[in-house]
Structure 1
Amino acid sequence: MTGFDLSAILGNPEYRSLLLQGIEMTFVIYMGSWLLAMTLAILLLAFRMSPLKVGNPIVAAYVSYHRNVPTLVQLILWYFGIFTLLPQGFANWLTDHNAEAIFAVIGLGLCQAAYFSEDLRSGLRSVSPGQMEAAKALGHSYISALRFVIMPQGVRNALPPLINHSVSLFKNSSIAIVVGASELTHAVKEIENLSFRTFEIYLVGTVLYLFFSLIIMAAGAYLSMRADPVGRAQA
């Protein structure tokens, strides 16, 4: 099969259907793992800021593990390791409910939580200590000062790294192919096997990843602008 023919991919209903299914599963994995990561990151941050002395070393160990072990290895450990240790009945239920996607969400979410928690922690640490003192002087309690004064500033400061890591999470969803999740990269590989149009289908896959990554970056830039008082005033 010779010659470049993009219509051989885009003009085929079966290939288009595979691509759409892959895109849908990619966003299911991305959004699921993002929500898991952000929820866990907030809990880790709260645990680290708690009066408990064991909180900081435990969270530090969690962050160190997930930041130093490759995400691919963590996904393989979850699907090919932990999955096999589950009770047979529960394992069968997971298999019937797309276990590949579920473990991809778990693996990616737990890993990304380490990065999100550090982003949020850095954002809070960048807030001047005088802000807490000023809030208390105005009559705020500790919790009220955190909620209305410290946290809004900390989250605003943390937005740039949070956006960068959100884009990285979207791109890392592609490694879910190693556990058999039928996301976009998996769909591209299937279409290559069916069409033998390697360059065309990988070009389509590249453009799709670039397009959706740019959309996420644009949404993040908009949020950063809206969170910035100066940006709101200029808008």
Structure 2
Amino acid sequence: MPVFDPGILQSGQYHDWLVQGLVLSLQLTAASFVLALPLGAVLALMRSAQAAPLRAAGASVVEAVRNVPLLAHLLFWYFAFPELLPEAAREFLYAHNPEAVCAVIALSLYSGVHMAEDIRSGIRAVPPSQLEAARSLGLGRLATVRLVLLPQALRAAVPPLLSQTVNLWKDTSVATVIGAAEMMYQAARVETASFRSAEAFTFATLAYLTVSLLISLAAHLYQRRYPVRPA
């Protein structure tokens, strides 16, 4: 008759915790990127607009967000923001994984303002003749921005945007301070439960390194496939 070893069950449970943390970290990265990129594009357009009020508003948002540490953003959105909501909205938030939701909000804003500067550099790289040609063909201002300006600006900004994605991936580790069960949270949980510090934090370190290198490799391959050419 086989002997039941509870240590095997515990080892499997610890492995599951670490994998769950890795999956949540990837989900936080993906969700934050999906929100941060359009936010960055809007802010970049505002900062590049001809109207002074739009430029001032865009610059104010960028400077206000990027000059506050990410940790402060996380603590604000998790502890202060829910108290500003109506009771029904607050209860809805608390019923739907508030740690992950607030982490996504903070990471999206923080990454979005940094992406805005990269996209704005891409906008500056688009030759004015491209916009003049679009207007001469009868395209309106919004159509010119959507069909001509943004596609070229985003293509030029891909390498720095991928670098920002690496930063976003690493920044998900800060979400552990508000109790989001991402990879660092689960590694600390395994360490506390089993005292297997080396295994837990080696897993987390290698996971962060592997994903970061994969994103960096994607940036390198993109630059080789689409080298930046002078306008």
Asked if Structure 1 and Structure 2 have the same fold, meaning a TM-score greater than 0.5 normalized by the shorter chain, the answer is yes
1:110: which partner in 2?
Answer: 109
Q: Is the 8 A contact 2:45 2:120 kept in 1?
A: no
Q: Is the 8 A contact 1:192 1:201 kept in 2?
A: yes
Q: Is the 8 A contact 2:46 2:57 kept in 1?
A: no
More displaced, 105-114 or 216-225? 216-225
Matched, 1:162 2:196: no
- Aligned-pair CA distance for 1:228: 4.2
SS of residue paired to 1:59: helix
Within a 5 Å distance, the mapping from 1:1-235 to structure 2 comes to 12-135=11-134, 139=137, 141=139, 143=141, 145-228=144-227
TM-score of the pair, normalised by structure 1: 0.84
Q: CA RMSD in A?
A: 2.4
Q: Is the 8 A contact 1:120 1:154 kept in 2?
A: yes
TM-score of the pair, normalised by structure 2: 0.85
Q: Is the 8 A contact 1:156 1:228 kept in 2?
A: no
- Aligned-pair CA distance for 1:99: 0.3
- Aligned-pair CA distance for 1:146: 4.0
1:128-185 C-alpha deviation (Å, 9 max, x unpaired): 3233345556x36354554454433322221121111110000000100011100011
More displaced, 63-72 or 150-159? 150-159
SS of residue paired to 2:163: helix
1:179-208 C-alpha deviation (Å, 9 max, x unpaired): 110001111010000110212211111001
Query: 5+ residue gaps in structure 1?
Result: 1-7, 231-235
- Aligned-pair CA distance for 1:16: 1.1
Aligned-partner Cα distance in 2 for 1:16–1:224: 37
2:4: which partner in 1?
Answer: none
More displaced, 14-23 or 100-109? 14-23
- Aligned-pair CA distance for 1:95: 1.5
Q: Is the 8 A contact 1:163 1:220 kept in 2?
A: yes
Aligned-partner Cα distance in 1 for 2:138–2:29: 38
Aligned-partner Cα distance in 1 for 2:108–2:135: 36
- Aligned-pair CA distance for 1:17: 0.6
Distance change (3 Å), C-alpha of 1:145 and 1:54: closer
1:3: which partner in 2?
Answer: none
Identical-pair percentage: 35
Distance change (3 Å), C-alpha of 1:216 and 1:136: same
Residues matched between the structures, number: 221
Q: Is the 8 A contact 1:156 1:224 kept in 2?
A: no
Distance change (3 Å), C-alpha of 1:44 and 1:216: same
Q: Is the 8 A contact 1:184 1:205 kept in 2?
A: yes
Distance change (3 Å), C-alpha of 1:229 and 1:110: closer
